[in-house]
Structure 1
């Protein structure tokens, strides 16, 4: 997935504000699932949501105004009611690694109680798992 950096994305120093990378990665996770025919909206409507329960993030270099970023998402691990994704943000022009993250998402249902991942999603994620 690609994201263009606009003035509104930057801080007073002219670089992307650190919290904005979390938004970009959220979008990339949704687009990752969409790319496999799974709709986050349809799962939400069915009472299945995926809150982030842990994130480890390393900022390597800044993105700046008008940069075009490329976001990559891979699956690191799948459990019964959670999964771990690896995400990278690269500047498209030179493929420089800007940010990398390890994101753990839980599967919850009504009352925000843990529930098993839907079979279709668990099988998809398991088939895409790579080594960390």
Structure 2
């Protein structure tokens, strides 16, 4: 079993987005699966803010992240033109995977939250590989 490092909650990242027509369902609310898209976009921007671009990681380090599991709770609807804040909070860091906690909020109101486990794999084989050392170092730092 992989050993995990618990990370501090001070490493919270927030990314804003607006709800567009394409994000809503026939009832005029955000389609539930789109929260996973919002979470994915926020994770990409979180990595970028840490100094890591996923395409470069794939090309230069022969590594990429894939989602291994998700668990999402939906608490309140969001609608067209709402401005949302999507957070990323790293919780556990292992050699080949990490667990992140994410939330979608409209102002102070919590709309959805979830735990996402991502793994690092080789793009060619899709077999697990170590998370690049620079990412581990960035996440292991105390803010």
Gapped runs of 5+ residues in structure 1?
A: none
Alignment of 1:95-110 (within 5 A): 95-109=108-122, 110=124
- CA–CA distance in 2 between the matches of 1:52 and 1:127? 24
More strand by share: 2
> TM-score with structure 1 length normalisation?
0.91
Q: Secondary structure at the match of 1:112?
A: coil
Q: Indicate the RMSD between aligned Cα atoms, in angstroms.
A: 1.4
**Count, aligned residues:** 127
In the alignment, is the contact (CA less than 8 A) between 1:6 and 1:66 conserved in 2? yes
Partner residue, 2:58 = 44
Partner residue, 1:90 = 105
Does residue 126 (structure 1) correspond to residue 143 (structure 2)? The answer is no
Gapped runs of 5+ residues in structure 2?
A: 1-14
Q: Secondary structure at the match of 2:65?
A: coil
In the alignment, is the contact (CA less than 8 A) between 1:48 and 1:108 conserved in 2? yes
The alpha-carbon deviation at position 125 of structure 1 amounts to: 2.0
Partner residue, 2:90 = 75
- CA–CA distance in 1 between the matches of 2:118 and 2:54? 13
Q: Secondary structure at the match of 1:107?
A: strand
**Cα deviation digits, residues 31-88 of structure 1 (max 9, x gap):** 0011111111101223211100011111111111110000110100000100011101
In the alignment, is the contact (CA less than 8 A) between 1:9 and 1:20 conserved in 2? yes
Does residue 21 (structure 1) correspond to residue 25 (structure 2)? The answer is no
